[in-house]
Amino acid sequence: MNFISTRGDTPALGFSDAVATGLAPDGGLFLPETLPQFSSDELKALAGLDYPALCTAFFRRFATDIDEATFAAIVAKSYTSFTHPEIAPLVPLADNLQVLELFHGPTLAFKDFALQLLGNLYEHQCAARGQTINVLGATSGDTGAAAIHGLLGKPGTAIFILYPDGRVAPLQERQMTCTGADNVYTMAIEGSFDDAQTALKDIFADQTFRLHHRLSAVNSINLARVLAQCVYYLSAWLRLPTAQQENVEFVVPTGNFGNVLAGWMLQNMGVPIRGFKVATNQNDILYRLFTTGEYKVDQVAPSLAPSMDIQVASNFERFLYFALGRDPSRVREVMTTFKATGEYRFESFDRSTFSASRCSDAEIPGIIKSVYERFGYVADPHTACAFAAPDSDRHSVVLATAHPAKFPDTLRAAIGVDPRHPSLEALKSRPIVKHPVAASADAIRAFIEARAV
């Protein structure tokens, strides 16, 4: 399987090279050249596989340049650090409502699903190619921690994480800055996640720097992230009774649009999912897109669901590619206009698969309370956004994207509960090590230059 850039000016690459490259050199995002199709017989054959076996079977369609036994071993290792035997349990709340819990990995957020795997893939690549690798990511809280824990102490790797200072939750910051690992560098920048992500893309666009440092990406600009996230949708879908399978809507707390895009890509591979609800916080650019057809950037407003405080959603470009009939020249045109004006209006696009909801900060505590009172379920503030606009005519599976213990202040204020997790408690007495760096590509480049392996 080859992977092509949404902007069409990069030669197609195999899986391992596309993963190592991260952002395509033409500024676009990699996508599979064609989306493989799963027939209903093939789907039936996947039912009953455990999570690692399902993940391996799914990736056979994509990671065709890694032999199956090697890939299976990488996958098996990646999911041993999850504490729930089902890896991604489906918790019933009502007849037509379930929660897909995605927070049983080492950093208690859905990012672990892809970043444990990516960390092990990088380790495999370093060994196979006899090279070191420097990994760069931007985070609004969870990707950074998960990426760091995917690569912690792995020989031949260094990891550089940009995050908006003061705009991630205190325990998220501790997960990144209290590791004590000497291959981890956390850069606290002034500004928002969008500022961090813009600087990161500028650095990846600098091919000389990227190639010199063998720089790779851990954000969902990396196609391996999105593919690994397809697997938990598939796993959940396969576990639903037949009547629910075709009527299911996944309700997805959304920021950078990687999570819900993964589900949508799986639907486009022939898995008959009814639809997806894009659930935003008060940073509602994607809510506005899917209700009006207009994609228009606004100021990022810090919220109680800080990891979703994003306006410029990276994976919009992948969606755009499909929405524009897979025409890279149109993607280039739209992205150039968008960069200059901060807006784009679709004349028409089929958004029937998507519904959308948004949730203000004023609403989040009330939703946490009502979910707790109605179902006895403790939802973190991001997951709470997915409960904002319940549907009655379909089977809803809400994606619980983070463990509530990461956000104790909001939980205490909403329901008087103080959720704790031993891995987070252990961090509270450790020293924070972070590096203030200006949110400019030059300053970040200089920082990396001095520390890269």
Ligand X SMILES: Cc1ncc(COP(=O)(O)O)c(C=O)c1O
- Active-site positions read 111
Euclidean distance between CA atoms 247 and 302, whole angstroms: 35
The reply to whether 28 sits near ligand LJ64HWYM by the rule CB under 6 A is no
According to CB under 6 A, which one of 137, 150, 253, 275 is a site residue for ligand X? 253
CB closer to ligand LJ64HWYM out of 38 and 160: 160
According to CB under 6 A, which one of 139, 192, 282, 357 is a site residue for ligand LJ64HWYM? 139
Euclidean distance between CA atoms 171 and 177, whole angstroms: 10
Is residue 32 within 8 Å of residue 3, measured between CB atoms?
A: yes
Stretch that binds ligand X, among 80-88, 183-191, 257-265, 408-416 (CB under 6 A): 257-265
CB closer to ligand X out of 239 and 406: 406
CB closer to ligand X out of 27 and 258: 258
The reply to whether 257 sits near ligand X by the rule CB under 6 A is yes
According to CB under 6 A, which one of 174, 382, 395, 403 is a site residue for ligand X? 382
The reply to whether 255 sits near ligand X by the rule CB under 6 A is yes
Stretch that binds ligand X, among 60-68, 157-165, 247-255, 334-342 (CB under 6 A): 247-255
The reply to whether 143 sits near ligand LJ64HWYM by the rule CB under 6 A is yes
Stretch that binds ligand X, among 51-59, 147-155, 250-258, 265-273 (CB under 6 A): 250-258
Q: Which two tokens mark 304?
A: 């109680």
Residue 419 C-beta: closest distance to ligand X, Å: 14
Separation in Å, CA 421 to CA 102, 110, 403, 406: 15, 16, 9, 8
Euclidean distance between CA atoms 146 and 103, whole angstroms: 11
Residues 294 to 323: which contact ligand X by CB under 6 A?
307-308
Stretch that binds ligand LJ64HWYM, among 11-19, 254-262, 286-294, 341-349 (CB under 6 A): 254-262
Is residue 245 within 8 Å of residue 145, measured between CB atoms?
A: no
402 binds, among ligand X, ligand LJ64HWYM, none (CB under 5 to 8 A by kind): ligand X
**Mask: binding to ligand LJ64HWYM, 314-333, rule CB under 6 A, as x and -?**
x-------------------
- What is the DSSP secondary structure assignment for residue 431, as one 8-state letter? P
CB closer to ligand LJ64HWYM out of 125 and 139: 139
The reply to whether 32 sits near ligand X by the rule CB under 6 A is no
**Mask: binding to ligand LJ64HWYM, 275-314, rule CB under 6 A, as x and -?**
--------------------------------x------x
Name the nearest CA neighbour of 273 among 245, 236, 239, 232: 245
CB closer to ligand LJ64HWYM out of 5 and 256: 256
Residues 196 to 225: which contact ligand LJ64HWYM by CB under 6 A?
219-220
CB closer to ligand LJ64HWYM out of 219 and 235: 219
Residue 121 C-beta: closest distance to ligand X, Å: 19
Binding stretches for ligand LJ64HWYM (CB under 6 A)? 139-144, 219-220, 255-256, 258, 307, 314
